[in-house]
Amino acid sequence: MNTVTSTNNLQSTQTDFLPLQGTDYVEFYVGNAKQAAHFYKTAFGFQSLAYAGPETGMKDKVSYVIRQNKLTFVLTTPLRTDNPIADHIYKHGDGVKVIALKVEDATSAFEETTNRGGKSYMEPTSLKDDTGEVVISGIHTYGDTVHLFIERKNYNGIFMPGFREWKTNYNPTSTGLLYVDHCVGNVGWNQMNPWVKFYEDVMGFRNILSFDDKDISTEYSALMSKVMSNGNGYVKFPINEPAEGKKKSQVEEYLDFYNGEGVQHVAIATADIVATVTELQKRGIEFLNIPPSYYETVLDRVGKIDEDLQPLQELGILIDRDDEGYLLQIFSKPLEDRPTLFFEIIQRKGAKSFGKGNFKALFEALEREQDARGNL
Ligand code: FE2
């Protein structure tokens, strides 16, 4: 086994040339942003925040911004065919385009990363309105995915210039989702290490955990993964690549259907996973089914936990422990018809790891779904 654990953060912020304050927002390019916004509000408990479209001077696209605690999603759809957003949707289906990172200085973030080999997506751009200024810059990452650097320290508006407040009487209650815990990318064969090097060299991240195909394989399919973290640990990007198995890797299925590399899952933190998942299931969100046998032995593996096992089993929540504590996690089925993007809901109780002890049960559950689609 090749697992390496390290908990040392960068010793000094002076050495961090790209200080990140966390995830600012995640932007999805979708075929129908109006309906997607309704889905995320209704099913996941987001609130309407802001809107941009022809009425606010945006002629070729519409964006809805929804928020729950520190979790902000932007849902964007093109209004015409001759449009790079339309091309993105034609190629990938609905998916994550932007992982936006909050920075103190978007100009410095752009210069530091592009000087280290990052490919420019957007040069530093100042957006102003009567409530202040937002500066945005951005670089490309795997596939057609991009990182935007968002500087909003001089802004007091609702989201950013070009958007207006989205007022509505439809405000479903929260499901307790708090913030992005991590965002996982699926990359192609032999592409994990080049992207690890990208995050190290261009963005100053470190590889904090590695899983080889012996860690992450079932009887049939396999993958490899390395977890990249920024200096303060606020931003974590695991990178997966497929590995050879008897049958097709789940990562390969993703790559086939997304038509390239992209975001596999967004993990969202909650402080009460039983309450959150109970509410999400009530609202129709489907999760991977975990066999009862998992729960017969799980406490032997993870030891004592605060929660009763019964509700965890009823909901299909997984448990894992590391040196620092334990975590509770669950994985949704894909959020669109293509077997591409899904969500993880995670509650950390000390553990800083990613649920290695659950990989086998989890991937067997994933494979049952993959098999039902005829893609195993
Ligand atoms: Fe995850």
Reading the block at residue 298, the tokens are 């799980």
CA dihedral 71, 77, 78, 84 (to 10 degrees): 50
Determine the 3-state secondary structure of 195 from DSSP: helix
What's the gap in Å between 163 CA and the centre of ligand 1?
A: 31
Q: Specify the amino acid at residue 217.
A: S
What's the gap in Å between 79 CA and the centre of ligand 1?
A: 33
Strand partners, 48: 66
On the question of pLDDT at 15 being above 80, the answer is no
- The reported pLDDT for the residue numbered 286 is 97
For the chain, the 3-state helix, strand and coil shares in percent, each to the nearest 5, are: 25, 35, 40
Rounded CA separation 204/231 (Å): 8
Strand partners, 104: none
Domains within the chain, CATH numbers bracketed: 17-165 (3.10.180.10), 177-373 (3.10.180.10)
- The edge-to-edge listing of strands for the beta sheet with 164-165 is 120-129, 132-140, 146-155, 95-102, 23-29, 71-78, 61-68, 47-52, 164-165
- pTM, rounded to two decimals: 0.94
- ∠ at Cα 314 (309, 318), nearest 5°? 60
Write out pLDDT tens, residues 33-74. Answer: 999 999 999 999 999 999 999 999 999 999 999 999 999 999
What's the gap in Å between 354 CA and the centre of ligand 1?
A: 6
Reading the block at residue 242, the tokens are 């497929």
On the question of pLDDT at 1 being above 80, the answer is no
Long-range contacts of 314-318 (CB under 8 A, 24+ apart): 315/274, 315/277, 315/278, 315/281, 315/287, 316/277, 316/287, 316/288, 316/289, 316/290, 317/273, 317/274, 317/277, 318/290, 318/294, 318/355, 318/358, 318/361, 318/362
Rounded CA separation 260/35 (Å): 25
What's the gap in Å between 320 CA and the centre of ligand 1?
A: 13
Q: Specify the amino acid at residue 44.
A: F
Rounded CA separation 251/236 (Å): 19
What's the gap in Å between 239 CA and the centre of ligand 1?
A: 10
Write out pLDDT tens, residues 295-336. Answer: 998 999 999 999 999 999 999 999 999 999 999 999 999 999
What's the gap in Å between 265 CA and the centre of ligand 1?
A: 7
What's the gap in Å between 330 CA and the centre of ligand 1?
A: 9
- The reported pLDDT for the residue numbered 216 is 67
- The reported pLDDT for the residue numbered 13 is 47
Write out pLDDT tens, residues 150-196. Answer: 999 999 999 999 999 999 999 999 999 999 999 999 999 999 999 99
Kindly report the length of the chain: 376
What's the gap in Å between 315 CA and the centre of ligand 1?
A: 18
Per-residue pLDDT band for 125 (boundaries 50, 70, 90) equals very high
Reading the block at residue 9, the tokens are 């953060």
What's the gap in Å between 189 CA and the centre of ligand 1?
A: 20
Beta carbons of 287 and 281 less than 8 angstroms apart = yes
Beta carbons of 357 and 320 less than 8 angstroms apart = yes
What's the gap in Å between 122 CA and the centre of ligand 1?
A: 28
Per-residue pLDDT band for 217 (boundaries 50, 70, 90) equals low
Task: Identify the CA nearest to 79 among candidates 56, 51, 59, 57.
Answer: 59
Beta carbons of 47 and 66 less than 8 angstroms apart = yes
Rounded CA separation 366/376 (Å): 10
Q: Round the average pLDDT of the chain to a whole number and report it.
A: 93
Burial class of 117 by CB neighbour count within 10 A (0 to 12, 13 to 18, 19+): exposed
